Amino acid sequence: MDGKRILLIVGGGIAAFKAPALIRLLRAEGAAVTPVLTAAGAQFTTAMTLSVLGGEAAHEGLFDISTEAEIGHIQLSRNADLVVVAPATADLMARMAQGLAGDLATTLLLATDKQVLIAPAMNVRMWQHPATQRNLELLQGDGILTVGPDQGDMACGEFGPGRMAEPEAIMAAIRGALRDEPLKLTRESQVSRGPLEGRHVLVTSGPTHEPIDPVRYLANRSSGAQGTAIAAALRDLGARVSFVTGPATVPPPEGVEVIAVETARQMRDAVQQALPADAAVMAAAVADWRVTNAGARKIKKDGSGKPPVLDMTENPDILAWVSGLTDRRPALVVGFAAETDDVIENATAKRARKGCDWIVANDVSPATGIMGGTENAVTLIRQDGVQEWPRMGKDEVARRLAREIARALA
CA distance 44 to 39: 10
Total Cβ atoms within 10 A of residue 374: 12
Q: Is 118 labelled a binding residue?
A: no
Q: Is 184 labelled a binding residue?
A: no
Reported as half-sphere exposure (CB side, CA atoms, 13 A), residue 209 has a value of 16
List the Cα angle 350/356/357 in 5-degree steps: 115
Query: Does residue 356 have an active-site annotation?
Result: no
Q: Is 317 labelled a binding residue?
A: yes
Q: Is 301 labelled a binding residue?
A: no
List the Cα angle 217/222/227 in 5-degree steps: 130
Are 119 and 87 contacting, i.e. CB atoms less than 8 angstroms apart?
yes
Q: Is 288 labelled a binding residue?
A: yes
**Residue (of 101, 124, 125) closest to 112 by Cα position:** 101
Q: Is 316 labelled a binding residue?
A: yes
Q: Is 300 labelled a binding residue?
A: no
Helices then strands (H, E): number in the chain? 14, 21
Q: Is 298 labelled a binding residue?
A: yes
Total Cβ atoms within 10 A of residue 47: 18
Q: Which of 156, 215, 331, 352 is catalytic?
A: 156
Q: Is 318 labelled a binding residue?
A: yes
**Residue (of 136, 188, 193, 125) closest to 161 by Cα position:** 125
List, as residue ranges, the binding site: 288, 298, 316-319, 336, 350, 354
List, as residue ranges, the binding site for CTP: 288, 298, 316-319, 336, 350, 354
Catalytic positions:
156
